[in-house]
Amino acid sequence: MKKAIKTIIAIGMATLTMFSATSVFAAVYAYPYENGWYQTNNEWHYSVNGKDLRSTEAVINGKKYYFYNNGVMAHNSFVMYRLRNKETEPLKTCYAGSSGAFVKGWVQPKASKGWWYFDTNYEMHKGWLKYKGDWYYLGNGGAMVTGWQKIGKTWYYFESSGKMRTSNLVYKGKTYRFNSSGACINP
């Protein structure tokens, strides 16, 4: 009889433990928090009033983030979007860093040899950029250019740092001269 009672108690405890574990699992993972950050499958989400932010940008604790339509926070990636109901607005291109927060300034994304510049609004810059007194050029895809570049009808030379050359350059045995605007005088 004692053995049967011990068995019943052991089965009851195992069932109670399983039920408690299942309830905790469901409470933590199956339902988003009412407000704030939570993680599922190694992906971060942010919930407001029990609903995930989706297809939107958000400023959280002073940092800007983007959430895809499945509620997952963007990270280590370029993000192209326009705000809802703004179909006439051009696409914004930003970069979400490893923390998920949008970045400003120069960025070299993971697995990339290129550099991009993001302005104070977190948007990718294209074309001419004056940075700390020097000129740079960022191509159509936003990547900083180096070496010889024909922009419009004019030739320019950009150092490996991306800085535009304005002084003479000896290249493959020939001396090239540049005016103060960086244009090559004798291409």
- What is the band of 88 on the pLDDT scale with cuts at 50, 70, 90? confident
Q: Please check the confidence at residue 3 and state whether its pLDDT lies above 90.
A: no
User: DSSP assignment of 144-172, as one string?
Assistant: BP-EEEEETTEEEEE-TTSPBP-S-EEET
Residues 164 and 158: beta-carbon distance below 8 Å: yes
Q: What is the DSSP letter of 134?
A: E
Instruction: Say how many C-beta atoms besides its own lie within 10 A of residue 83's C-beta.
Output: 11
C-alpha 40/C-alpha 19 separation (Å) is 21
Q: What is the pLDDT of residues 19-50, one digit of tens each?
A: 333 322 322 334 456 789 999 999 999 999 88
Phi, psi (degrees; rounded to nearest 5) at 147: 75, -160
Q: Tell me how long the chain is.
A: 187
Return the closest-CA partner of residue 136 out of 116, 122, 112. Answer: 116
Per-residue pLDDT tens over the stretch 160-177: 999 999 999 998 999 999
The reported pLDDT for the residue numbered 144 is: 97
Pick the residue with more confidence: 131 or 82? Answer: 131
Neighbours of 169 (CB within 10 A): 15
